Amino acid sequence: MDSFAVSTEQRLTVEDITDEVQAAVPANATGTVTVFVEHTTAGVTVNEGESRLLADFADALENVVPDTGWRHDAIDDNADAHIRAMLIGPSTTIPVVEGTLQLGTWQSVLFVECDGPRRRQVSVVAD
């Protein structure tokens, strides 16, 4: 297992972490890697890493899950972040051949911050 940190500057943002994930994959790995976000208000997914699409995705999350009006907000005012992260999920599994991620032409590994700005840990586990 390897891990790396992701730092964000906005409350809700989507970052392409493909290069960091690839760097964490052992050179001789063949099988799969699981990319796991070690937090309850962030997620990880695979999709196209085009900057306008990333902004659209963040906007869509805001539209689907409003910022306010949640019971959990009475505790720490971040229920929206928890719900958004639940929709995305904390992990994704990617095939690997000889240490290389087997992503499609337009696929990237995306880190989704829902409660930033923060410094987060992402784990990469080869199976």
Q: Which of 120, 127, 113 is nearest to 45 (CA)?
A: 113
Phi, psi of 32 (to 5 degrees): -140, 160
35 and 90 Cβ atoms separated by less than 8 Å: no
pLDDT value at residue 37 = 98
Helix, strand or coil for residue 105? coil
HEC profile of 2-25: EEEEEECCCCCEEEECHHHHHHHC
User: What gap in Å lies between CA 46 and CA 93, rounded to an integer?
Assistant: 9
Q: What is the pLDDT of residue 50?
A: 97
Whole-structure pTM value: 0.96
State the residue for tokens 């992701």.
Answer: 6
Domains detected in the chain: 2-126 (2.60.120.460)
Q: Helix 51-64 vs helix 79-88: angle between axes, to the nearest 10 degrees?
A: 120
16-72: per-residue pLDDT in tens?
999 999 999 999 999 999 999 999 999 999 999 999 999 999 999 999 999 999 999
Name residue 33's amino acid. V
